[in-house]
A and B are shown apart, each in its own frame.
Chain A
Amino acid sequence: MNDVSERTRIKSERYESGVIPYKKMGYWDADYSVKETDVLVLFRITPQPGVDPIEAAAAVAGESSTATWTVVWTDLLTACDIYRAKAYFVEQVPNSTNEFFSFIAYECDLFEEASIANLTASIIGNVFGFKAVKALRLEDMRLPYGYLKTFLGPATGVIVERERLDIFGRPLLGATVKPKLGLSGKNYGRVVYEGLRGGLDFLKDDENINSQPFMRWRERYLYVIEGVNKAAAKTGTVKGSYLNVTAATMEEMYERAEFAREVGSVIIMIDLIIGYTAIQSISYWARKNDLILHLHRAGHSTYTRQKNHGVNFRVICKWMRMAGVDHIHAGTVVGKLEGDPNAVKGFYDTLLLPVLKENRNLGIFFDMDWASLRKCLPVASGGIHCGQMHQLVQLLGEDVVLQFGGGTIGHPDGIQAGATANRVALESMILARNEGRNYVEEGPEILKAASKDCRPLQVALDLWKAITFNYASTDTLDYEATPTKSAS
C-alpha cells in the first residue's frame, strides 16, 4: 500500500536523481558578476586527461562549497543558488598546456566569522583529494573587507613593535641560536647574551627547540632572560629573544607563554605546525598580555613548494595576517632556502601593505583592501651574511627582521664579533642609502670602507665573501618579466 516508488517525482531536469556535470549543476557561471562581499579564490587546476577545464573548475567550486557527487533533493530546502560557489573565469596558465587558472566566487555567508579553521576547511578541504583533478593549487584569495573586519589581525604589528623596541628606519637584526639542539640552558643563554651584546635586537629559538631531555623549557627561559637583561644593561637598549612556546597541547602552550610573560620576555614564538586554531588562540593570548608573537613557518614547504599542487605561500601570508601573528618568516631571496625574488616581494607586500593591487609579476592576482589589519613583519632567515647587506636592503626593504644565524655565530672571533659585524654592515648601508648613494652598485665598497673601523666586519667579509646559493627556485611565477634565478 505505502510503496514510495509510486509517488510523484521531482519534475526538474536539474534535480532528477543521478549524476550530472557540475557545470550544469550551477557551479559554473560565465556571466556571474562578482559581489564586493564575495570571497574570491584562484586555483591552479590540472584536470585529469580528457576532462574539460571548465568542468574541472565547476567541480572544484562544487566540492569546496555545497556539492556532493550526485544530485540531492535536499538542496531545494535551501537558498541553494546563493550557497553554490561559482567558477566564473578559466584561463590557460602561460607556458603550460594542461594547467588552468580558475577563478571561483564564494558567498561570504559560507564562512564563519573570524575562523581560519572554517575558511580553510572549505577552501582546502576535501577538494584537494578530488579525483577529477590531477593536481590542484590554491594560488590567491581576495578576502572581502567586511569579512576581514571580523579578524583582529596582528596584536602588535610593525609600527607598535618598533615603538616598543625604539628602532626606527632600519631593518631589525636577529639570529637563531645554534646548534639548534643539544645546548644546556646555561650555554644557550650565553649565545643569547653574546649576540645581543654585540648589537643584535633579537635572538631566537629554533623551530624544533621545545622541551627536550638536554634542556627543559623553564631552564631555557630563565637563562635566556638573564642574557636578555644583561645585554640590555650593557647596551642601553631594549632586547628580546623569541621564546618558543610550541608544545603538545594548548594547555601546555599557555603555561609556557605565561611563564615567558612572568620572567619578562617581550616576545614569544610558535611554529606553523601547531595549526590554525592554536595560532588564533595564542594570538588572542598575546594580544591580552602585550607580547609580540613570532611565527616560524615550520612545515610550510610540504605544501607550498611544488608549483602545481598545494597552497601558495602568499595565501599562508594572508591567513597568518588575519590570524594575528606579528612576525612570519617569508624568505630571503639570496639565502639558502627556496624563494624567487618577485614571489618573495609579493609575500612581503601581502604582509606589509594596507591595500594590495593586482600585479601578476609579483604573483598578486586580486585587489584587496586589508581593512586596517595591522602589518605583519616579514623575517628573512636562512643562509644570509653581512656581505650581502646591500642586496638584502634593496630586495627586502626596511620593514624586515634580518636574521643571521650561522652568519653571527659562525664568526671566527665569536658571537659578539659576528653580531657587531652585521650591525655595522647594516647601519653603514642604511646611512649610505639615505644619503642617496647608489648603494646596490657601491655595496661592496661601502662595506669595505665600514670595515676599516670595524675589525669584526673585515673578518666576516673575508670569510663569507664567496658564499652564494645560486639555485633556481622550484616555485616560480607564471608572469615574470625576467627569468627566474637566484638573485645573488
Chain B
Amino acid sequence: MIRIQQGSFSLLADLTDDQIRKQIEYSIKKGFAVGIEWTDDPHPRNSYWEMWGLPLFNVPDAATILYEINEARKAHPNVYIKINAFNNTRGIESTGLSFIVQRPSFEPGFYLVRQEGRGRHIVYTLQSYAVQASAEGSRY
C-alpha cells in the first residue's frame, strides 16, 4: 500500500472541501480554467485521464466547480480524481496547478518488472497492481 504522490499537495493530509474551494478561488483569480479528470489507471506516465466534461472556462464561482467535483465523486466514488487548472497565457499555455481531490480507499501502488539486458543493463517497467489484477471499471 502506498500513497501516490502525484499533484501539488500529495504529502499533506487529504484536502477538505473548504481547502479545495480556496485553491479553486485562487485558480479563478489567476484566470485559470478548472478541469476535472478521473482515472483508475494512475500510472505516472498516463497523461490522459478521463475528462469530467470540459474544463470550466469562464466559470467565476468556486461553488459551481465544487458541485461538479462532487458529481464526479458520486459517479466514480472509488477512483482517483484530480483537478487541473489551465493557464492560457501566451508563453505558458499549460497547466498552472494540479492536485488530487479523491483517492480510492486502498492504493496498492506499483511494482517494477526488471528485464535483464546486455551487460548489466536492466530495462525497468513500472506496473500497477490494480491494473494487472482487474479490468477497467473494477480496479479499486
Q: Which residues of A pack against B, CB within 8 Å?
A: 159, 162-163, 166-170, 199, 222, 225-226, 229-230, 232-238, 262-264, 354, 372, 375, 420, 423-424, 427-428, 430-431, 434-436, 450, 453-454
* Total contacts A-B at CB 8 Å: 110
Q: Is the CB of B45 within 8 A of A233?
A: no
- Chain B proximity of A303: nearest CB distance (Å): 31
Are the C-beta atoms of A168 and B4 separated by less than 8 Å? no
Inter-subunit contact B121/A423 (CB<8 Å): no
Cα–Cα distance between A450 and B11 once the two chains are bound (Å): 11
Is A168 a contact partner of B22 (Cβ separation < 8 A)?
Answer: no
CB distance from A223 to the nearest CB of B (A): 10
Complex interface residues of chain B between 11 and 65 (CB less than 8 A to chain A) = 11-13, 15, 19, 22-23, 26, 42-45, 47
Given known pairs A236-B4, A423-B11, A436-B26, the reply for A168 and B124 (CB within 8 Å) is no
**Could you tell me if B93 and A233 are in contact, using CB atoms closer than 8 angstroms?**
no
CA distance A167 to B82 in the complex (A): 13
Within the assembled complex, what's the spacing in Å between the Cα atoms of A163 and B2? Answer: 23
Prevailing SS type, chain B contact patch: loop
Q: Which residue of B lies closest to A422 (CB)?
A: B11
Query: Within the complex, which residue of A229, A230, A435 is in contact with B26, where a contact is CB–CB below 8 Å?
Result: A435
Bound: A263/B10 CA distance, A:
28
Say if the beta carbon of B135 comes within 8 Å of chain A: no
Complex A-B: 10 CB contacts under 8 Å: A166-B47, A168-B84, A168-B96, A222-B122, A236-B2, A236-B42, A431-B8, A434-B22, A453-B12, A454-B11
Distance in angstroms between the alpha carbons of A263 and B45 in the assembled complex: 17
A169 touches B44 (CB 8 A): no
How far apart are the CA atoms of A162 and B15 in the complex, in Å?
Answer: 23
List residues of B whose CB falls within 8 A of some A CB. 2, 4-6, 8-13, 15, 19, 22-23, 26, 42-45, 47, 84-85, 90-99, 109-112, 120-124, 126
Closest residue to B89 on the A side, CB-wise? A354
Residue numbers in A under 8 Å from B98 (CB-CB):
166, 168-169
Please, which residues of chain A bring their CB within 8 A of the CB of B96?
168-169
Known: A226-B122, A354-B90, A431-B19. Is A162-B8 also a contact (CB below 8 A)? no
CB neighbours (8 Å) of B45 from chain A are 238
In the complex, the 9 A-B pairs of residues with the closest C-beta atoms, listed nearest first: A169-B97, A236-B4, A229-B124, A434-B26, A168-B95, A235-B5, A233-B110, A168-B98, A435-B22
Q: How far is the CA of A263 from the CA of B121 in the complex (A)?
A: 7
Is B44 touching A166 in the complex (CB atoms < 8 A)?
yes
- Residue pair B5, A237 in contact (C-beta under 8 Å): yes
Which A residues touch B43, using CB under 8 A?
A: 236
Min distance, Cβ B91 to any Cβ of chain A, angstroms: 4
Q: Which residue of B lies closest to A352 (CB)?
A: B91
Apart from the given pairs A225-B124, A234-B2, A238-B45, 9 other A-B contacts in the complex at a CB distance below 8 Å: A162-B94, A168-B94, A168-B97, A222-B120, A229-B126, A237-B4, A237-B6, A237-B44, A434-B97
What CA separation (Å) do A156 and B23 show in the bound complex? 28
Residues in B whose Cβ lies below 8 Å from that of A166 = 6, 44, 47, 98
Provide the residues of chain B in CB contact with A238, threshold 8 Å.
44-45
Residues of chain A within 8 A of B90, CB atoms compared: 354
Instruction: Answer whether A159 and B92 are a contact pair too, CB < 8 Å, given A222-B121, A225-B124, A236-B42.
Output: yes
- Closest chain B residue to A354 by CB distance? B91
Residues of B within 8 A of A170 (CB): 8
A233–B112 touching, CB < 8 Å:
yes
Contact assessment for B8 and A427 in the assembled complex, using a CB-CB cutoff below 8 Å: yes
Chain B residue at minimal CB-CB distance from A238: B44
Is the beta-carbon distance between B13 and A453 smaller than 8 angstroms? yes
Query: In the complex, are the beta carbons of A233 and B109 less than 8 A apart?
Result: yes
The closest CB in chain B to the CB of A425 belongs to B11
- Taken together as a complex, chains A and B put the C-alpha atoms of A168 and B86 apart, in Å, by 10
- Verify B112–A229 contact, CB threshold 8 A: yes
Cα distance A426–B2 in the bound complex, in angstroms: 21
Residues of B within 8 A of A163 (CB): 94-95
A230 touches B112 (CB 8 A): yes
Q: How far is the CB of A235 from chain B (nearest CB, A)?
A: 4
In the assembly, what is the distance between CA of A163 and CA of B91, in Å? Answer: 14
Minimum CB–CB distance from B72 to chain A (whole Å) comes to: 19
A263 to B122, CA, bound (A): 8
In the complex, A334→B95 CA distance in Å?
A: 29
A228 to chain B, nearest CB (A): 9
Identify which of B11, B23, B95, B110 gathers the most chain A CB atoms within 10 Å of its CB.
B11
Give B54 Cβ to nearest chain A Cβ, in Å: 19
Interface pair B23/A434, CB less than 8 Å apart: yes
Q: Would A169 and B8 count as touching, CB distance under 8 A?
A: yes
Q: Which of B44, B94, B109 has the most CB of A within 10 A?
A: B44
Give Cα distance in the complex from A424 to B10, angstroms: 9
Docked CA distance A430–B15 (Å): 13
- Which one of B5, B9, B120 has the greatest number of beta carbons of chain A within 10 Å? B5
Q: Please, which residue of chain A has its CB at the minimum distance from the CB of B110?
A: A233
Asked whether B120 lies within 8 Å of A233 as measured between CB atoms, the reply is: no
Are B124 and A427 neighbours in the complex by a CB distance under 8 Å?
no
Report the minimal beta-carbon distance from A43 to chain B, rounded to whole angstroms: 31
Contact A428 B12 (CB under 8 A): yes
Q: A163-B94, A427-B11 are known contacts. Are A232 and B5 too (CB-CB below 8 A)? A: no
